[in-house]
Amino acid sequence: MKIIALAKYNELAWKGMIGSSYAERRKVMEAVVSSAGATLTDMIFTRGQYDIVVTFDVPSEDVALGAAIAVNASGAIKDLVTLSEIDIDCALKTAKSVAGAYTPPGT
């Protein structure tokens, strides 16, 4: 399962980044993801609403949530959003079944 994490650093994290580098932060992120039993796919710093975007493959959504909790608990992140990959064909198949069975209230 693919996970996309969007994060915004707080001021102290940016202060620490001044003495760091992309290579150092990627090494840290690889260790974080690996310790959760996942694989880092990509990590990019961005300009805009979020400072960093990380993509990784995880065995389950619970694993992704555990990693997110640990990173959030560090205090370095002031906004963290995780997006999970979905199987759209499976979701649409279910939607078709439900749409035929569901009737709105009052009908």
pLDDT by residue (tens digit) across 22-53? Answer: 999 999 999 999 999 999 999 999 999 999 99
Q: Assess whether pLDDT exceeds 90 at residue 1.
A: yes
Q: Mean pLDDT over all residues of the chain?
A: 94
pTM for the model stands at 0.83
Concatenating the DSSP letter of every residue in 30-72 gives: HHHHHHTT-EEEEEEE-SSS-SEEEEEE-S-HHHHHHHHHHHH
